[in-house]
Structure 1
Amino acid sequence: MFGEEKRTQIGRTLQEKGVNGPCEKCGHNQFTVLDGYFTYTPQYDLTSVNVGGPNIPTVGVACENCGHISLFAAKRIVPQDF
């Protein structure tokens, strides 16, 4: 779980990178940094599911109005964690 300091750091970094506009779905301007990392797992073909292989770690934010979730590559937001 992320502590308050980590969530604040992620939010600040996103703002510094210009990720501070309104929600792309509802236009609301308040977001919450989600707790923990999320991963995308690349799939190399459409006939099977790759589990346990390479993945792309991300950090997420959710709109406080509609709940829309946006994910960002963690290596660009918290590179010191890698």
Structure 2
Amino acid sequence: MIPQQQTSLSEQELLRIMQKMNELLPNLSCPMCKNSDFVIAEGYFNNPLQFKLPDLSIGGRSIPTIGIICQNCGFVSQHALKTINLLPQNLK
């Protein structure tokens, strides 16, 4: 039997991220359109680090981020979880 996978962030995770982003960026506006209405992406991004171009390495070191999305133009701003103290302890 294949276990059911979580398809989005939990309400608790979303609340924790929202509180942290409001604390760090109280006057956030989109750098593209100056709108101030954003939503949090419903999952994490995991950006793999590449040490030699044009090779593509899969696995290894990466930068986990959360995205916030402008409600007007769709601009996505990624924020490193470790830097904003949202990376779970077991991943540090």
Given the two structures, how large is their TM-score scaled by the length of structure 1? 0.86
Report the secondary structure of 2:68's partner residue.
strand
Percent identity of the aligned residues?
31
Q: CA deviation at 1:71?
A: 0.4
Runs of 4+ residues over 2 Å off in structure 1: none
1:37 is aligned to 44
Q: CA deviation at 1:43?
A: 0.8
1:50 is aligned to 57
Unaligned runs of 5+ in 2: 1-7
Report the secondary structure of 1:78's partner residue.
coil
Q: Distance in 1 between matches of 2:69 and 2:50?
A: 25
Q: CA deviation at 1:19?
A: 5.4
Unaligned runs of 5+ in 1: none
Greater RCO, CA 8 A, separation 6+: 1
Q: CA deviation at 1:8?
A: 2.0
User: In the comparison of the two structures, how many residue pairs are matched?
Assistant: 81
Q: What value does the CA root-mean-square deviation take over the aligned residues?
A: 1.5
2:30 is aligned to 23
Q: Distance in 2 between matches of 1:42 and 1:19?
A: 30
Larger Rg: 2
